[in-house]
Structure 1
Amino acid sequence: MLYPNKIQMIKKTLLIIILLAPVSLLAQSLGKERVQRVKESIVALLINTSDDVSNKVYRGAGTAFFVNDDGYLATCYHVIENAIVYNNAGLKIGVRDIAIRTISGEVIPAEIELSFLNENRIEGLLYDCVLIKAKTLPKSKFSYLPLGNFGDIEEGDAIYTCGYPLGLPTHIVSTGILSTKFEELRKATSSSKPKTEVAQKVRNLAWLDLTMNRGNSGGPIIKLGSKPEDDYVIGIATFILNPYANEADNIANFIRLQNPNSDLMINGVKSGKTTMLLAEAVANNSIGISGVVSINHLKAILKWK
């Protein structure tokens, strides 16, 4: 004989099983093989911020990933943009040293592929993609990711990525879905005055239901296949959606200029510094919506099939 309490417990258990069953069926573990390969393929991209040639200071700028076994890597143009030095007239006068840091912690000098500083610079800027090369191959094991076709992924397909967000010294793996594909007309203007339009391109993008933060830029967006060997890169992580980022950045920069350590104390805490830290946290925080630019653009620039 079943007592009322037991009947209620059975009903609740069955309800939980029914509710969770679709989730467990849809959820697909990446598995050890996938995670290991993507970890071995991504690197933290570093830019030297010091003007003292005898004392280089490298800081994290974003993520990059190997695209072949010759040591070439892809990333976003905006990730390496601070490495390019211009004069007041907008002319390039130099390039800061860059390096990559592998999963093993090995730091290797790298360089921007020369064409992206010259004939491919405008296209790299418009499509936000660039190729870099490690000056020497990593001593530790590394993998490269096959580049696929952006046209082969559908809205709703499962994706994953790996990168170095928020300046963290370790990688973060994230999973999600490709939500909505769209096109955007992007224009480039001259750096000289008066500014004139020098080029415009339509680029293919997609919204992602995928948590990324600053530092993820330049990482691979990978289509999840039925088997690890079926996975391929469909795009490069290029932006996050944060409607409060600009305002929060403005607040943080304003307080920083006002010397946050010299203001009044509230309950033993400097209010200016606290506000600045909160604003920085808001500016860098993801709300779970991000974006990808098609890998087809980089392949077209390089004339890769």
Structure 2
Amino acid sequence: MGWLRGIAAIFLLVSVPGIAEAAYETLVLKDGQRITGEVVAEKQNALYVDLGYDLLRIPRDQVVRRTKAGEGELPAATPSQGVEPDASGLFSTGVLRATPMKELVARFGEAVISIETPSGKGSGFIINKDGYAITNAHVIQGETRISAILYQNTTGGLSRRRIEDVEIVAVNAFFDLALIKVPLPPDLKLNYLVLGNGDDVNTGDSVFAVGNPLGLERSVTQGIVSSRSRNLQGQLYLQTDTAINPGNSGGPLFNARGEVIGVTSRGARADMADNLGFAIPISYVKDFLRHREAFSFDKTNPNSGYRYLDPPRRQRAEAPKGLARPREASPARSASPAAAASPAGGQSGGR
């Protein structure tokens, strides 16, 4: 009977959760892949992981983060673990697991980008592996020379990489949304963000934003949802006390699980009010992406946002003495979407 008790003891060790897994770690790599196993050796330049049937050597400079299996592990921003691609094929939706904010920033921060044009700077975020990204229409309004600054996790922190010739795919100035495509080099792999469910957003929920306020790259601000349905000039916004400043425009507003629930768009003027920020609800963003063909950008179409120079003024002959010269009419200039969208007494949180 002694051998039977020994077998039972072994069975208990294997079947009790947490005992057999205690020595296992999850290694998150720079390309987003994860490897779970027992780290049996640590050398200066490599880690050796026992996968149970093979021994794997992993260069240390490829490891972004190490966690114990099941502890503090973040869901990957890929179509897995409850995350599914939308029927449009352009973005993914799903419900992630609540995780400490600092870990969410470390995991999903790579997908937040800076956007630069000759007239200013804003924010944006990657929504799929092909480099498609969302930003505000007023961030790129009137511009066709657009650059994106990408940030990659490395062992020494974040590396900065500039990508030129960003393509404008679609623009909806009424909802202040734009879809752009960043031409990713073959050696560059980025995480992308998961779009959440707007119906799950409630007043009092914790949220945070990542963006580039006043050009201060990679700034993180935290707050709560002050109102889930604030009507401003006929459009609904998420109101939040998360700090939103010029340069935040186009960046993501995250919930406590790391899902994008809005696009930061504007904030109140500092001399008028504090803790007033607004974000475009994610439901508007999804509709815009699903019907992007209706808003396709065409630089030959003056309604697409391409900047046209004013025509030269006609030269007028001098009027004879004693006769008044006709008064010229002022050229009509349309207000920018940023100004048109601003709440009374406020200003856009854009570039």
Under TM normalisation by the shorter chain, which class is it? 0.5 to 0.7
Contact 1:71 1:137 in 2 (8 A): no
Which residue does the alignment assign to 2:246? 214
Name the SS for the 2:160 alignment partner: coil
User: Is the counterpart of residue 148 in structure 1 residue 148 in structure 2?
Assistant: no
Q: Structure 1 residues 80, 164: closer, same or farther in 2, change over 3 A? A: same
- The count of corresponding residues between Structure 1 and Structure 2 is 187
* Aligned-partner Cα distance in 1 for 2:186–2:204: 36
Which residue does the alignment assign to 1:177? 224
* Aligned-partner Cα distance in 2 for 1:115–1:288: 31
User: Is the counterpart of residue 34 in structure 1 residue 104 in structure 2?
Assistant: yes
Which residue does the alignment assign to 1:106? 161
* Structure with more relative contact order (C-alpha pairs < 8 Å, separation 6 or more): 1
The aligned amino acid for 1:239 is: R
* Aligned-partner Cα distance in 1 for 2:99–2:219: 15
Q: What is the root-mean-square deviation of aligned Cα atoms in Å?
A: 2.4
Which residue does the alignment assign to 1:73? 133
1:261-290, Cα deviation, whole Å (9 max, x unpaired): xxxxxxxxxxxxxxxxxxxxxxxxx83221
1:90-143, Cα deviation, whole Å (9 max, x unpaired): xxxxxx310100122211124344343xxxxxxx11111111100224845521
Q: Give unmatched runs, 5+ long, in structure 2.
A: 1-97, 152-158, 292-351
User: Is the counterpart of residue 62 in structure 1 residue 122 in structure 2?
Assistant: yes
Q: Structure 1 residues 138, 204: closer, same or farther in 2, change over 3 A? A: farther
* Aligned-partner Cα distance in 1 for 2:274–2:123: 20
Misfit runs of 4+, over 3 Å: 28-32, 110-115, 137-141, 183-186
Q: Give 1:239 shift.
A: 0.6
The aligned amino acid for 2:259 is: Y
Which residue does the alignment assign to 2:116? 46
* Aligned-partner Cα distance in 1 for 2:150–2:185: 11
Which residue does the alignment assign to 1:287? 274
Of the three residues 255, 266, 271, the one matched with 1:223 is 255
Q: Give unmatched runs, 5+ long, in structure 1.
A: 1-27, 50-59, 84-95, 117-123, 187-201, 226-230, 246-285
Name the SS for the 2:164 alignment partner: strand
Q: Give 1:242 shift.
A: 1.6
The aligned amino acid for 2:126 is: F
Which residue does the alignment assign to 1:302? 289
* Aligned-partner Cα distance in 1 for 2:276–2:170: 33
1:214-243, Cα deviation, whole Å (9 max, x unpaired): 101111001113xxxxx3111100011126
* Aligned-partner Cα distance in 2 for 1:74–1:157: 23
